């Protein structure tokens, strides 16, 4: 029997223009994301407008509960799991608000789906670069929350590189826009007698000491680890001209991006776009008879201005054999590789592409680590990328009692550490009698 719902929630429901779900089924549906974690939320809200989110913030403050912003819920580490109120923006916050062709920016609500945004932007000759495997369903609020990256981030960067400004609601319900600001504007903000002022003051007080800055520099991951998401990105803030000699202006969005919905509720996102990628492309699918040979080749191959460099191991490749849809996408696989590396090259003309592909093949031959390297074109490339995108999902549907557990996900290391890292990680797993599965934006 379901528990009676607290009278407070009935009152809250009547205040909202959107919906508040407190039934058991809804709570169970929202108890998880794509991770192994499960916690029943106290309620699920589908806010219709900003006033609804403000009402939810006020309610959370008065009733000592928390809000868990949620977009598509495809997070892999429990980011949208919690015992507070899950606030789902996927139903009503779905508008693309403005495209500015001259600044190549777009402003969206957090519930806009990444691929739908790019379909919309195509006629403008623009697109949003970061491309997760979940791009057909994940939403911009979630991409900002997770600082999402993906297959193309070696060319186009991660979401943090693209966030120009964020309109947010803070924990007291105040509306604040965060964007790049001058030194003078920063110090003016520190004088505000508001929560926004407190935030700027605290940031300044905490980060102004050169000793603290050095400590951060010494202890944060290496700078070249671009796809990192290691707690709050305060190292990004100290790189601004308030705290260093750099020309970079301070932008709180660097910190908000990747903060997993813990600092503010985002209602509008303005993103920097890129021109559509060069139209000619080819993919070289290198086949290896060992993981270590695959890893060994990555650093050299990456010198070729690749657009994607995606890796899959034999565990995932074998799972695609038993999936009807993926059987059609795996026709380029020759023999029984232990790993494949799918390397995509792009150019504006066919001639330039030929030159790029020949140069790339020459490098692979010189390396001598792969046993074959078919070149894919046209629809074959889409099929290969679909195979890669399906990989993780297939792992979740492993047939039999043995299931893959996603417990060490999305680790990121510097390129020159990759080979040693995987070798050490494999031996650690072996020592626990575990079989690691590798798929990576190599």
Ligand X SMILES: Cc1cc2nc3c(=O)[nH]c(=O)nc-3n(C[C@H](O)[C@H](O)[C@H](O)COP(=O)(O)OP(=O)(O)OC[C@H]3O[C@@H](n4cnc5c(N)ncnc54)[C@H](O)[C@@H]3O)c2cc1C
Binding site for ligand X (CB under 6 A): 33-34, 68-76, 79-80, 89, 110, 132-134, 138-139, 141-143, 145-146, 148-150, 260-261, 265-266, 392-393
How far is C-alpha 235 from the geometric centre of its chain's CA atoms? 19
Closest distance of CB 163 from ligand X, Å:
12
Q: Are 123 and 143 in contact (CB under 8 A)?
A: no
Give me the sign of the Cα torsion angle 244, 250, 253, 256: positive
Closest distance of CB 112 from ligand X, Å:
10
Closest distance of CB 134 from ligand X, Å:
4
Nearer to ligand X, 133 or 364 (CB): 133
Closest distance of CB 174 from ligand X, Å:
15
Question: Crossing angle, helix 291-301 and helix 350-367, to 10 degrees?
Answer: 130
Nearer to ligand X, 266 or 364 (CB): 266
Q: How far apart are alpha carbons 268 and 288 in whole angstroms?
A: 45
Closest distance of CB 121 from ligand X, Å:
17
Nearer to ligand X, 9 or 93 (CB): 93
Q: Which residue has the tokens 């700027």?
A: 200
How far is C-alpha 18 from the geometric centre of its chain's CA atoms? 28
First to last CA, the chain: 49
Nearer to ligand X, 76 or 302 (CB): 76
Nearer to ligand X, 143 or 252 (CB): 143
Both tokens of 346, joined, read 């792009």
Nearer to ligand X, 89 or 369 (CB): 89
Report the SS3 class of residue 364.
helix
Q: Which residue has the tokens 């800055």?
A: 213
Q: Are 47 and 379 in contact (CB under 8 A)?
A: no
How far is C-alpha 190 from the geometric centre of its chain's CA atoms? 31
Closest distance of CB 398 from ligand X, Å:
14
Could you tell me how many helices (H) and strands (E) the chain has, helices first?
18, 17
Strand partners, 339: 288, 313
Closest distance of CB 293 from ligand X, Å:
24
Nearer to ligand X, 34 or 347 (CB): 34
Q: Which residue has the tokens 């809200």?
A: 45
Residue 364: which of 284, 438, 282 has the closest Cα? 284
Closest distance of CB 119 from ligand X, Å:
17
Nearer to ligand X, 45 or 347 (CB): 45
């Amino acid at each position: 029997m379901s528990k009676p719902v607290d009278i407070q929630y009935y009152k809250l429901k009547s205040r909202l223009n959107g919906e508040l779900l407190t039934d058991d089924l809804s709570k169970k549906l929202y108890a998880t994301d794509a991770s192994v974690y499960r916690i029943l939320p106290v309620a699920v809200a589908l806010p219709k407008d900003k006033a609804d989110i403000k009402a939810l913030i006020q309610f959370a403050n008065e009733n000592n509960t928390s809000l868990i912003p949620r977009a598509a819920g495809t997070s892999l580490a429990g980011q949208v799991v919690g015992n507070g109120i899950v606030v789902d923006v996927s139903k009503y916050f779905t508008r693309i608000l403005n495209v500015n062709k001259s600044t190549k920016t777009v402003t969206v609500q957090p519930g806009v789906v990444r691929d739908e945004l790019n379909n919309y932007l195509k006629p403008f000759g623009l697109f949003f670069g970061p491309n997760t495997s979940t791009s057909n369903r994940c939403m911009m609020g979630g991409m900002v929350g997770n600082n999402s990256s993906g297959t193309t981030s070696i060319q186009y960067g991660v979401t943090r590189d693209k966030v120009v400004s964020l309109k947010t609601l803070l924990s007291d319900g105040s509306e604040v826009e965060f964007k790049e600001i001058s030194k003078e504007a920063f110090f003016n903000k520190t004088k505000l007698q508001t929560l926004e002022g407190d935030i700027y003051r605290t940031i300044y007080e905490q980060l102004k000491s050169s000793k603290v800055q050095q400590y951060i520099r010494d202890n944060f991951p290496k700078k070249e680890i671009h796809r990192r998401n290691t707690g709050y990105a305060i190292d990004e803030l100290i790189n601004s001209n308030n705290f260093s000699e750099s020309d970079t202006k301070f932008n709180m969005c660097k910190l908000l991006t990747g903060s997993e919905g813990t600092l503010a509720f985002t209602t509008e996102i303005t993103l920097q776009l890129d021109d559509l990628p060069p139209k000619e492309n080819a993919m070289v699918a290198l086949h290896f008879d060992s993981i270590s040979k695959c890893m060994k080749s990555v650093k050299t191959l990456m010198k070729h201005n690749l657009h994607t460099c995606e890796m899959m191991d034999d565990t995932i490749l074998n799972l695609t054999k038993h999936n009807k849809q993926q059987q059609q996408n795996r026709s380029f696989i020759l023999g029984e590789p232990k790993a494949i590396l799918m390397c995509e090259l792009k150019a504006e003309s066919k001639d330039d592409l030929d030159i790029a592909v020949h140069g790339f093949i020459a490098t692979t031959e010189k390396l001598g680590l792969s046993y074959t390297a078919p070149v894919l074109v046209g629809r074959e490339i889409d099929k290969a990328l679909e195979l890669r995108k399906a990989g993780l999902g297939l792992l979740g549907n492993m047939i039999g009692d043995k299931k893959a557990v996603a417990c060490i996900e999305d680790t990121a290391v510097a390129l020159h550490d990759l080979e040693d890292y995987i070798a050490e990680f494999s031996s650690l797993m072996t020592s626990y009698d575990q079989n690691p599965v590798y798929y990576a934006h190599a």
